[in-house]
Every structure is written in structure tokens, then in C-alpha cells.
Amino acid sequence: MTLPLIVNKIRSDGPREGLSNSYGKVRNNASKWHRGWDLSAEPNSPVFAVADGVVVQSLDDVSGYGRCVVLEIKNPKFEPNSNKSFGNGNFEKLYILYAHLSQTDITDGTVKRGEQIGKTGTSGNAGGEPPHLHIEILLENKIKKSTPRLDPGELLGYELYSCGGTGLVNQEVFGSCKAN
């Protein structure tokens, strides 16, 4: 897998927010789900395909995601330390949702790993927030709350926020970053 940005860092809303921009029940005192990761980015930073795939959706606004692209990848390769937290981790295909983009550079067709597919922004419900990339791993090509998802760390690695994916949140490692 290739990481989606040049510098990949879970976005922080300050020390009181903890990891509210990572995956899971991390918002509103662990009562609200966040279905992906928010990665900090400078405005209009390039966004890259994490794997070879096919663009199956390119939308201007859906469910608050703003301008977004969905990339289908076949036979995904999981990180060596992956928990494969959904089922046994053997999937023929997964769907990568890239959201809050300022622009899309490709709207259909095949893309290669590392190819630029758009630029970061604040479209959709991200208006008023710092520019970032919201990324989700969907098990179906449906952008709905009920669509099953994986923690992006299963594919991209957990070292972006927890130094190995143990699930333990440690403010000292929060904000660590990994370059593409």
C-alpha cells in the first residue's frame, strides 16, 4: 500500500479532543462513531491512490462528504501487524473513500498506486475546519452509515497514531507522522 498523502498524520483538534479524528467510537465521550481517519493536510495537498484500482464513484456531495472519490481495489494486502478486525480479513475487494476534496483529478477509469487522484480541501461538512483528507475503507460500494467498514489502519498501518495498533492511546505518540 501507498499512503494517501505526502505526510500522513491524524488530525488533532487539541489535547482535550484526544484521537477524535481516528476510527471508531472516539467522539462525544465515546458515544459517536467516526467511520474513518482525518489526516491533516495543507490546502490543496495532492491525494494519492493507495493501491492499483478502479474509480467507481466520483461525487460532488454525498452525506456530508463533499467532493469525494471511491476507489475499488482487488485482493488487498493487509499490513503485517493488522488485526483484520472484520471477519477473517480475506477480501476479494475493498472500497477506499477519499472525502472533503477541493478537486478531483480523475473521475473514472483505472488508477495506479501512487497516482494523484485529487487535492485536499474542506468540502461537505468539513467547512470551517482545517483542510484534511477523510479516508474510509468500505466493504461495499455504498456510501451509507450502515455500510460495514474497516479501520484504515488495517491497510495503511497503525503507526500513524498508536505505534503498532494496540489500541492504547498515548498522548506522547499522538501526532506521530509517517511520510509516503
Sign of the torsion formed by the C-alpha atoms of 1, 37, 84 and 70: negative
Q: Could you write out the DSSP letters of every residue in 169-180? A: --TTTTT--EE-
Question: Contact at 8 Å (CB) between 175 and 158?
Answer: no
> What's the average model confidence in pLDDT over 30-41?
71
Domain ranges of the chain: 7-179
CA-wise closest residue to 68 among 80, 78, 77, 55 = 55
pLDDT tens-digit series, residues 83-126: 554 445 567 899 999 999 999 998 889 999 999 999 999 999 88
pTM: 0.77
> What's the average model confidence in pLDDT over 25-30?
52
CATH number of the domain located at residue range(s) 7-179 in this protein:
2.70.70.10
Q: Is 119 left (phi over 0), alpha (psi -120 to 50) or beta?
A: beta
Cell numbers standing for residue 23: 476510527
